[in-house]
Every structure is written in C-alpha cells, then in structure tokens.
Structure 1
Amino acid sequence: MFTFEKISKLSDLEIIIYNYIVEHPDEILEMSIQKLASQTHVSTTTILRFCHSLGLKGYSEFKLRFKDDQKNKNTISTNSFYQNITYLEKYTEPEFQKKIKIAAKLLQHATGIIWMGFGASAGICKYAANLFSNTSKSNLVIDDPYFHSNISLFKGSVLVILSVSGEIDNTIRILNNLKSEDVSVLSITNYENSTLSKLSDYTIPYYITYKKNNDIDMTTQLPVMLIIEMLGSKLIELS
C-alpha cells in the first residue's frame, strides 16, 4: 500500500498522517476517522485526501487494506529494527531507482565530491568518502558544524549533504556560504519539501519515520547507508 512513489507524492499534512499510522499500526485498526483526525491534528477531509492519494476510495477501504497488510506482516518480528529492514524494499522500486540513476550521473560528471554531515551523519560521510575513493573521484568531508570558509569549493564539484530533517541551522548556513554556480548540491534527506531540499539542485528523499528516545534522535540511518551504497554501485556501473 505504502509504495515509495505514493509516499513521495503526499502533502506535508498527509505525511503527518502517514507517520502516525506507521508508528501506531495496532491502534489504527480500531480508530474512527474522527479519532485519527484528532490524534494527527488535521481535518477528516485531509484524511480522506490521504486515502485518495493512496488510490483508495475512502477511510473504510483504507482500514480494510491496512488490516490485510498487517496480517501479512505477522510473520515478521514486530521489533522496529526488523521493520526498518523490510522498509528498505521500497528503495528497489523503479521510481526510486530513477532518482539513484539521476544522482549518480550528477556525480559521474563531477570533478570531485564533498560530503557534509554532522552528528551521526558525519560518520556516514567518512564512510561514503572512503567508499567513493574507489570511483577515481577526489573526496573531502566537512563534519564540523561550525565550519567557516571564504574560499569557494573547487569548480565542477558536487556537495553531497546528509541531514535527516533538512532543517538544521548550521547545515543551511554552511550551504548558503558554499553554494555557487560552479558547485552542484545533492541532498540526501528525509523529506523532499525541507529547506535543505529547496536549496539543493537535486534531492533523494527516503521518507523514514522519526524515532526519538528521551529527546535524542534515534532515527535509523539504514536508508542513508543503502542510498550511498546504491550511488556508489551505479557510479561504478556508469564509469
């Protein structure tokens, strides 16, 4: 039901509904449309639009389809880690693979790659730089959130930015300082409508549900790792 193509076309409000459903699958089966509207702070009309976006006639059909989907998942552990693994299957869909190919072509023509990310993303940037060193491209990493530079990035390079939210102030500040007509910006972030996405030349959104524990962001980085592996594989294939 929740294919990548359908998720990518949801509005911001519909994404809120989608996230709530994914996080509360058992409760949804017993919820009326009014209750779901109350829990997600949207109107019942928005929920109906959400159902229509999924290709369904209404909320009743959605609940029937969702119930069937949940039955099919009963053979898989309810542990969120294993749910994340099954979610990765969405990235093998043709619509997502098209995005990977376009991004790989952008990297193919780059004179070099600069990876930028902070926190958990910093470690992934270092891994990506090491992986992509096998593609005959020069790779640099910016992992300092207080990075300052008055020097432009080398001409023809691609700045690849990793950010779950796409709204971190330091990320946006550094991007604004480094952005130029000689540098292309590729963002790998959760939502296509984030500030980071709007400032980028191309975005690969992965639409994973945010997870927090005691106000600490525990959102899985599995999609980002997979996307980087896919980009590396596709780049080698194109070379």
Structure 2
Amino acid sequence: MAFMTGGLVMLTEMLPSLPPSEKKIANYIMNHPKDVISLTANEIGKRSDTSSAAVIRLCKSLGLKGLPDLKLRIAGDLQKHNDPGVRDIEPNESLASIIDKMTNNSIQTIQETAELLDTHHLEKAVHVLKTARKIHFFGIGASSIIAQDALQKFLRIDKTAYAFSDIHLASTLVSTGNDQDVAIGISFSGQTKEVKQFLEIAKSKGLTTISLCKYGQSIVSEQADIPLFTSATKEPTFRSGATSSRIAQLQVIDILFMCVASSQYDKTVTHLNETRAAIEFLR
C-alpha cells in the first residue's frame, strides 16, 4: 500500500476498553481527524481536556510506537475513498443487491485486516512457523474451519501440523510439546475461554503461542507471545455464517502460509508438486 492506514479503525475498536482520559482523547481524534495531523501531543491533550502524557499512553494502548505513527495512519485513512460500511441483507432482496453487498463487505474486511497486521509480529510468526517441529491449530465453531484450512495448507509443504476443535484433545497433544513447537489459538472475539486455556497450557510447556483475534485487547491475545489481529468490523445481523470474521481469518492464514512458502521457495514447490502428484489419480 502506498500509505499506512488503520488509525481510525484502531481507535473505534479500542474505545470501549480505554480508561477515561484516553477515551476522551480517542473521541476528540475521531471527531477531528484532519486537525490532529498537525497537532502536537501537548496540543491534543489541551483540546481534549487531558494531558500530553495521556496522549502517549493512548498510542501505547493501541500498540503503536508513538503519536507520529498514529498521525501517519490517520493521514492515510483520510486519503481513502469513502466506503459504504458493512451492510446487512434486507427481506426479499434482489440477487444483484446481495452480490454487491457481500462483495463490498468482503473487500472492506480484507482491506481493514491488511491495515491492522503488524509486520514485526508477522515476521516473528513466519520465523517460528518455518522452524517449528510441530504446529498446533485450535479453534471452536466457525474458527475450527480456519484451523482445518491452515492444517491442509501446512501439511502440503511438509510441516507436521494438527488441528483440533476439542479442548481435551488439543490440550493432551500440546501438553507433550516443547519449545520447538508452536500453538496457534483462533478466536474472532478473543473471548473464547477454551482457546485461552489451550494457549495457557501450551505456554506452560514452553511452546511459542500465537493468537488470531479481532483487533483489541482480549483474554486470548493476552496469552500469545505473538498476537495477530484481523479486522474488527462489526458483523451485520445475519452474519452470513460469520462471513466477515471468516474471510479475515482466512486472509491472515493465507498470508502466513505464503510468507513461509516464499521463505523456502524451492522446497515448497517440490512439496506442492509431490502432494499434487500423490492425489492426481483421484481426479
């Protein structure tokens, strides 16, 4: 992308969990994004009836390096064309309209997820996945579909991987793991207790833990050595089988897979050709 974005999305999603002073600053920034770009931390603090220290704390709460990082992202947000937002379907809606809405919803979800991915955390995740002895994916409900998708991708490039939706089986397997293994907990809400418990057990055994949740603080991401975030776009009423969250999670899995594949390109091509040939007779 030509410019950094995602500042306003971060503020919107973190707003409910921010302390009072930081919440006042976040509200001011969201209401006056153009003004903020040219203001100092001290000036933002004064205009929001807080302090420059609170402005710096807000940036840290967002996981950013500082105010310049936030201002750069907001400037990028202001360069984007207005989008219609995530739209729900209506009773007896036409096929053409549903196609248009679902397509736009997916595009917005993918765009926001790209804005929220931290490349430093992504690089760390790629490194541990590339060198892992075993990779354990765990998710419940719709997130279990993402775990299965990740499993079939990484198996094809000769990675020893597992995917579970049963906390008992998942916990049993990671309990025999060590610091050469990786555990990935998938939960869009970040509040799934079983996923939190899975990462807790994995962490206690020395495994590197990775979380995949919507942007913001959560009980799942708190257990991760490497937190990865997807778009936190609100799901519409029908949710279409958790459409937006599923697409965002699949996007991150695809990015992880492609990054690992690229880093060992020749080996990946060999393994993909071998696995393709192995199932050719079934077609």
- TM-score, reference length from structure 1: 0.68
The correspondence of residues 55-94 of structure 1 with structure 2, limited to 5 A, is 55-56=36-37, 69-70=81-82, 79-92=101-114
Cα distance 1:50–1:217, how it changes in 2: closer, same or farther (>3 A)? farther
> What is the Cα deviation at residue 197 of structure 1?
0.9
Q: Does the Cα contact within 8 Å between 1:158 and 1:185 map onto a contact in 2?
A: yes
Q: Does the Cα contact within 8 Å between 1:212 and 1:218 map onto a contact in 2?
A: no
> What is the Cα deviation at residue 193 of structure 1?
1.4
CA offsets 1:55-93 (integer angstroms, 9 cap, x no match):
4579xxx9xx97x833799xxx86154232144234556
Q: Does the Cα contact within 8 Å between 1:116 and 1:142 map onto a contact in 2?
A: yes
> What is the Cα deviation at residue 146 of structure 1?
5.1
> What is the Cα deviation at residue 137 of structure 1?
1.4
> What is the Cα deviation at residue 127 of structure 1?
1.3
> What is the Cα deviation at residue 149 of structure 1?
2.9
> What is the Cα deviation at residue 122 of structure 1?
0.8
Matched residue, 1:144: 166
Q: Does the Cα contact within 8 Å between 1:104 and 1:235 map onto a contact in 2?
A: yes
Matched residue, 1:50: 30
Q: Does the Cα contact within 8 Å between 2:113 and 2:229 map onto a contact in 1?
A: no
Q: Runs of 4 or more off by more than 6 Å in structure 1?
A: 214-217
Cα distance 1:153–1:219, how it changes in 2: closer, same or farther (>3 A)? farther
Matched, 1:170 2:150: no
Q: Whole-Å Cα distance in 2 between the matches of residues 150 and 190 of structure 1?
A: 26
Cα distance 1:83–1:205, how it changes in 2: closer, same or farther (>3 A)? same
> What is the Cα deviation at residue 162 of structure 1?
0.8
Matched residue, 1:31: none
Secondary structure at the counterpart of residue 137 of structure 1: coil
Which of 204, 215, 224 is equivalent to 1:200? 224
Q: Whole-Å Cα distance in 2 between the matches of residues 218 and 135 of structure 1?
A: 29
Counterpart residue identity of residue 201, structure 1: D
Matched residue, 1:229: 254
What is the aligned residue count?
A: 207
Matched, 1:154 2:156: no
Q: Does the Cα contact within 8 Å between 1:113 and 1:159 map onto a contact in 2?
A: yes
Q: Once superposed, what is the RMSD of the aligned Cα atoms? A: 4.0
Counterpart residue identity of residue 226, structure 2: Y
Matched, 1:133 2:171: no
- TM-score, reference length from structure 2: 0.59
Q: Whole-Å Cα distance in 2 between the matches of residues 125 and 218 of structure 1?
A: 15
> What is the Cα deviation at residue 218 of structure 1?
2.9
> What is the Cα deviation at residue 118 of structure 1?
0.6
